[in-house]
Amino acid sequence: MKKENFIWSAIKTGLLGGAVALFICLIGMVEVFSKRDVVEGVITLGQFVLLATSIIAGLFASKNTSSLVERNKAFSSMVAGVIAGVVTGGMIALFVILGDIVNIRAVFLNASPTLYQLLTFEQGVGNAWVLPAIGAFAGLLGAGYVFLPASVSHPINRGLLVIVFMALFSGLFRVVLINQGPEMEKAAKYLFGQTGLTKAGALIFFLGVILVTLLWTYQGGNVRQGITRLPKGGRLSLQVIAFALIGFIALALPQVSGPFIAQVIVIVALFILMGLGLNITLGFAGLLDLGFVAFYAIGAYTVGLLTSYGPFGLQHISFWVAIPIAVLVAMAAGFTLGLPVLGVRGDYLAIATLGFGEIVRLLAGSDFLSPYFGGPQGIIGIQKPCLGFLEPFVKIDVPRVCNGIELGKPQDIYYLAVVAALLIAFVAWRLRESRLGRAWMAIREDEDVAEALGINLIQTKLLAYMLGAAMAGLGGAIFAALIGSIFATSMQLLVSINVVALIIVGGMGSIPGVIVGAIALIGLPELLREISEFRYLLYGMALIVMMLAKPEGLWPSQAARRELHHEDAAQIER
Amino acid sequence: MPMLTLDKVNTYYGNIHALKGITLSIEKGEIVTLIGGNGAGKTTTLRTISGLLKPREGNVRLNGEDLSKYKAHEIVYKGISMVPEGRGVFARLTVNENLEMGAYSLKDPQGISRNMERVFTLFPRLKERHTQVAGTLSGGEQQMLATGRALMASPNILLMDEPSMGLAPVLVELIFDTIQQINKEGVTILLVEQNALMALSIAHRGYVLQTGEIVISDSAENLKNNPTVQKAYLGME
């Protein structure tokens, strides 16, 4: 078979890169991202994204070339990289020129004058030739990158990654540091600008990461060996120190970070609770539930109805009494959902549960039940939890006086949510190691065989639904206390989908995976509120990339790790 | 009194009449084989005995007790274990974990570890691979594992569905030797096989199934010499 001409291949790669670049221009991403800097005065986030497409086009063109040509590999690859970069840049340039002649904006709303200004560096259409030139340079960079040995490219990769990460969250870091007093304020202003990293900050982070990576490459082995060589007591005390450190940071964090970050962490913790719950039904027992938000809603509404001072509050009992009731009600709901869908498997189960989730949301928000659940107005005036010995447990007078510590601010709820998440993670872990956990896994693998081995399918499945629901219900209960009001509209299908996604991204059936997945899919997007328009675009891209690159998840369970890496399987010792 | 009896059992898949009045009996300590072509109802018979399917008419009795009042998961507690068709090992669990799952119906840890030892003595190969994931085992090893898993429940009767399926001849012989050994240790065996020659060479008695009915019932020796059986199932003219 005749091999493809490498030049043609490079042009195709460039066209693809150009298409991606135009796409992100036309959806308005470049314009929004240009308000943020990666490094202040050097490169904006918008420019960075466009540059990255050219570099990646060059990189792929160069990679393809090495498999297409036999001689002069290095030279041909460089040429291919430049071609791909020029084509990518050229397409943007053509777009700019075209936009000058025809009114593209009639079709594409985001093809605004500001965008053209940005693309031509505010020099007008005459400056469009610069774009292919930059593209060529970027493509060459990408092509050259392929030839770097791993020992060089790894530190650079990490350095760039950290810079982008720090730049994205620079506003947060800056605010948090500035709050720590005048000394820290100076440091903050030195490292972080208003819209991105300062030049000095970028350089410090980049060099710092490279230094650490290099040190780890050359000395990491020794350190690891040193740790394994430690006597048992030594290793134990090292672990104790590590745990103490993590515990201290966890305790101090909300006091240092302020309410915004604390609230984000609470939301992550609530999703961890839901994730741990769904991890039981889906991860352990293999029962897909697309209406999981229903149990969260039921937990939240139960606490709302039992503690609210608003018009729909049935009782004014203490939050601490309402919590176990909410968990029990959610469990009962899990039982109610479980019974009719017991015999339903796979895709059909997913649809049935999807229906359940929607029914709960629609009922809660309906006019029909609005005398009880407030309909679209929701339930307001939910009391904050009160920590105090004098707190009456069951009946609380109106208006309540909290003779102790009121958990009013997000920073206070933080402790409640984190403790609940840790506690439930522990419970989930013990459940997995139990006889019941084994039975769930057997059902997940093969229902018929499980039954023939003596596992009661009905009982085991119902327990999976009920325990999963209980955990989500606890999450909902804390949510009610955090927000102080609940509305049916916040119990969207998207919440259920997020929970499924975070389990898959974290690693199906893995408890640490749930935590990592919740931080990655819920925490990071929450922190990136500024670019909220494009959150779900990035979210979708991340999911696709994840499934291609790491289908077993970020922190897979042992079973999944074994399944997807058969060659290593023989070495796993227990 | 026979240990296990099926009396005019009729089982349906929806509207499909799969077993049309099967009557058979198995004495304690026997190896009995069911032979027959595809769709004859061999697997259906085993699934009916193990409770995964319920007979619409007729009944299955174990030591005289009607099993129809028990659910599938309760039947294993009565001493009936099944090695499913196509082995059905838990592919993502290790050999050890698969065996532990087999002992799900047992409560005492000592009994479980005794059974584990027994399985490892029968199949030294499994002991070598006890930490390996079942999905990465060879077909023969998976068959050993499925058999071992069924033995973990300390059964009195072992129902085996096509243990030779998809295995190399040398492995088939090994598996059948082990079946005989398990039988000598006191386990009664009901063996379903397409490989009729192998099955008849170790069984005491056999039944020939055709489209849901038993057409011949005889000792294994006589079946081997029966011209109809020879022509239809043993490939002899």
| Predicted confidence (pLDDT) per residue in A279-296, tens digit | 999 999 999 999 999 999
Residue B52: its chain A contacts at CB < 8 A? 448, 451-452
Choose among A435, A453, A570: nearest Cβ to B76: A453
Residue A442: its chain B contacts at CB < 8 A? 90, 101, 104
CA contacts within 13 A on the Cβ side of B113: 2
Same domain, yes or no, for B74 and B92?
Answer: no
Same domain, yes or no, for A204 and A261?
Answer: no
Same domain, yes or no, for B96 and B148?
Answer: yes
* CB interface of B with A, residues 99-138, below 8 Å: 100-102, 104-105, 131-133, 135-136
Residue B100: its chain A contacts at CB < 8 A? 438
Same domain, yes or no, for B52 and B161?
Answer: yes
Cα first-last separation, chain B: 38
Same domain, yes or no, for A367 and A476?
Answer: yes
Burial pattern B73-88, b for ≥16 Cβ within 10 A else e, equals bebbebbbbbbbbebb
Instruction: Answer yes or no: is B231 within a domain.
Output: yes
What pLDDT shows up at residue A512? 92
Same domain, yes or no, for A202 and A269?
Answer: no
Mean pLDDT is highest, among A177-181, A527-531, B105-109, for B105-109
Same domain, yes or no, for A175 and A286?
Answer: no
Q: How many domains does chain B have?
A: 2
Same domain, yes or no, for A137 and A283?
Answer: no
* pLDDT of A43 over the 60 cut: yes
Q: CA nearest A134: which of A92, A74, A75?
A: A92
Same domain, yes or no, for A378 and A476?
Answer: yes
A439 token code pair:
């039975």
Instruction: Answer yes or no: is A515 within a domain.
Output: no
Cα gap A323→A385, rounded to integer Å = 10
Residue type, A68: L
Instruction: Answer yes or no: is B171 within a domain.
Output: no
CA triple B110-B116-B119, angle to 5 deg: 145
Cα gap A463→B54, rounded to integer Å = 25
Sole residue written with tokens 């084989």: B33
CATH number at residue B21: 3.40.50.300
Q: Is A394 exposed, middle or buried (0-12, 13-18, 19+ CB in 10 A)?
A: exposed
Instruction: Answer yes or no: is B130 within a domain.
Output: yes
Contact assessment for residue B46 and residue B81, using Cβ atoms and an 8 Å cutoff? no
Q: Is B53 exposed, middle or buried (0-12, 13-18, 19+ CB in 10 A)?
A: buried
Same domain, yes or no, for B126 and B220?
Answer: no
Same domain, yes or no, for A162 and A311?
Answer: no
**pLDDT class for A477, splitting at 50, 70, 90?**
very high
Of A213, A238, A264, the residue at which a domain comes to its end is A213
* pLDDT of A566 over the 70 cut: no
Instruction: Answer yes or no: is B66 within a domain.
Output: yes
**pLDDT class for A1, splitting at 50, 70, 90?**
very low
Instruction: Answer yes or no: is A517 within a domain.
Output: no
Instruction: Answer yes or no: is B5 within a domain.
Output: yes
Residue, of A525 and A12, whose pLDDT is higher:
A12
Percent of chain A with pLDDT over 70: 94
B60 token code pair:
């299955």
Question: Residue B119 is part of which domain span?
Answer: 88-154
**pLDDT class for B191, splitting at 50, 70, 90?**
very high
Min Cα distance A559 → chain B (Å) is 5
Same domain, yes or no, for B146 and B161?
Answer: no
Instruction: Answer yes or no: is A65 within a domain.
Output: yes
> pLDDT digits over B194-233, tens only?
888 899 999 999 999 999 999 999 999 999 999 888 888 8
CA contacts within 13 A on the Cβ side of A384: 20
Cα gap A51→A164, rounded to integer Å = 13
| ipTM confidence score | 0.88
Does residue B93 belong to the interface with chain A, where contact is any CB pair within 8 Å? yes
Same domain, yes or no, for A139 and A278?
Answer: no
What pLDDT shows up at residue A257? 80
Cα gap B22→A313, rounded to integer Å = 64
Of A495, A525, A548, the residue at which a domain comes to its end is A495
A interface residues, B as partner, C-beta within 8 Å: 435, 438-439, 441-442, 445-446, 448-457, 559-560, 562-563, 566, 569-570, 572-574
Instruction: Answer yes or no: is A540 within a domain.
Output: no
Cα gap A474→A463, rounded to integer Å = 16
> pLDDT digits over B61-97, tens only?
999 999 988 999 999 999 999 999 888 899 888 999 9
**B220: CB partners within 8 A, 6+ apart:** B33, B200, B201, B203, B204, B205, B206
Instruction: Answer yes or no: is A364 within a domain.
Output: yes
Of B154, B174, B196, the residue at which a domain comes to its end is B154
Same domain, yes or no, for B50 and B141?
Answer: no
**pLDDT class for A563, splitting at 50, 70, 90?**
low
Same domain, yes or no, for B10 and B74?
Answer: yes
For residue A399, say if its preceding peptide bond is cis, omega within 30 degrees of 0: yes
Residue A573: its chain B contacts at CB < 8 A? 131
Same domain, yes or no, for A426 and A477?
Answer: yes
Of A213, A246, A275, the residue at which a domain comes to its end is A213
Same domain, yes or no, for A149 and A271?
Answer: no
> Mean pLDDT over residues A337-363, rounded?
89
> Mean pLDDT over residues A79-87, rounded?
92
Instruction: Answer yes or no: is B209 within a domain.
Output: yes
A173 token code pair:
């870091």
Same domain, yes or no, for B131 and B199?
Answer: no
Same domain, yes or no, for B51 and B100?
Answer: no
Instruction: Answer yes or no: is A241 within a domain.
Output: no
Same domain, yes or no, for B75 and B148?
Answer: no
Q: How many domains does chain A have?
A: 2
Same domain, yes or no, for A262 and A207?
Answer: no
**Which among B90, B128, B149 is the top mutation candidate for probing chain A, defined by the most A β-carbons within 10 Å of its own β-carbon?**
B90
A66, A71, A463 from A75: Cα distances, Å: 10, 9, 64
Instruction: Answer yes or no: is B178 within a domain.
Output: no
Q: What are phi and psi of B123, to 5 degrees?
A: -125, 80
10 Å Cβ neighbour count for B1?
9
* pLDDT of A567 over the 60 cut: no
Helix (H, G, I), strand (E, B) or coil at A120: coil
Cα gap A359→A363, rounded to integer Å = 6
The secondary element (H helix, E strand) that includes residue B21 is strand B16-26
Min Cα distance A443 → chain B (Å) is 10
Same domain, yes or no, for A109 and A187?
Answer: yes
A459, A462, A560 from A342: Cα distances, Å: 10, 8, 26
Instruction: Answer yes or no: is B32 within a domain.
Output: yes
Residue B108: its chain A contacts at CB < 8 A? none
Rg (CA), chain B: 17
Min Cα distance A573 → chain B (Å) is 6
Q: CA nearest A85: which of A136, A48, A131?
A: A136
What pLDDT shows up at residue A327? 97
Q: Is B184 exposed, middle or buried (0-12, 13-18, 19+ CB in 10 A)?
A: exposed
Contact assessment for residue A13 and residue A4, using Cβ atoms and an 8 Å cutoff? no
**pLDDT class for A398, splitting at 50, 70, 90?**
low
Same domain, yes or no, for B101 and B74?
Answer: no
Ranges of H-type helices in A169-292? 170-178, 182-191, 199-229, 232-257, 259-278
The secondary element (H helix, E strand) that includes residue B33 is strand B31-35
Cα gap A125→A135, rounded to integer Å = 17
Instruction: Answer yes or no: is A119 within a domain.
Output: yes
Does residue B12 belong to the interface with chain A, where contact is any CB pair within 8 Å? no
Contact assessment for residue A134 and residue A50, using Cβ atoms and an 8 Å cutoff? no
Question: Residue A61 is part of which domain span?
Answer: 6-213
Same domain, yes or no, for B187 and B73?
Answer: yes
Q: pTM for the full model?
A: 0.84
Instruction: Answer yes or no: is A569 within a domain.
Output: no
